Amino acid sequence: MANAPMHTLYSMQDSGNCYKIRLVLALLGIPFKLHDIDILKGESRTPEFLAINPNGRVPTFKLDDGRIIPESNAAMWYLAEGTDLLSDDRYTRAQILQWMFFEQYSHEPYIAVARFWLHIMPGGRAEKTNDDIAGWMERGNQALQVMETHLTDTDFFAGNRYSIADVALYAYTHMADHGGFDLAPYPAIGAWLDRVRTQSGHVTIDWRPDVS
């Protein structure tokens, strides 16, 4: 069915937010097309792309019927409904969302942003002050400590089972060292990263779907 309509992911390969959706699609065995958008070349700010997502961000997920879902965590939720990556239990769903909002508010703005300026953006270090970096370190380590405390008692973030809450937090945590974070003081996080990596169907951030 090579010509059947397929979902399309507008994605930058290096982005952890984009990786989240690729990982969920791989885990669920859902075929999709990848459309590369290089934000460093301004490709998320072209008129063509802003017509797709007026907020000018990747990932942007386009369903096979043409409807658009911006925001990585919203697209993961859409894909995971009815699968083992979400839950039939109302309280577990709230816990999954709790950790996904934690990730976007208390984790990503420090751990992913540090990685962007120190590792992804050429010359990015020179644009930031030592105070910027100290702030990322302080708040990022606070987020890691919240995760460490939680994972001391449980194997996964919600419902005692691998879910999209784990995918959301795995994306930038597993490459936190790119932003200068040291995970050695967080052994429960280390063990959880290993549990995520050994899930059936796991793919790394380099993985791309095999479609033309």
Contacts of 38 (CB under 8 A, 6+ apart): 12
Q: Which residues 16-55 are close enough to bind its own copies by CB under 8 A?
A: 54-55
Query: What is the spatial distance between Cα 85 and Cα 164, in angstroms, rounded to a whole number?
Result: 6
Per CB under 8 A, 150 contacts its own copies: yes
Per CB under 8 A, 91 contacts its own copies: yes
> Binding its own copies by CB under 8 A: which of 6, 30, 52, 97?
97
Nearer to its own copies, 50 or 211 (CB): 50
Nearer to its own copies, 52 or 202 (CB): 52
What is the sign, positive or negative, of the torsion defined by CA atoms of 15, 60, 143, 189? negative
Per CB under 8 A, 78 contacts its own copies: yes
Contacts of 119 (CB under 8 A, 6+ apart): 178, 179
> Binding its own copies by CB under 8 A: which of 18, 75, 113, 176?
75
Distances (CA, A) of 43 to 29, 35, 63: 28, 11, 20
* Polymer length of the chain: 212
Per CB under 8 A, 63 contacts its own copies: yes
Binding site for its own copies (CB under 8 A): 54-55, 63, 67, 69-75, 77-78, 81, 90-91, 93-95, 97-98, 100-102, 104-106, 108-109, 146, 149-150
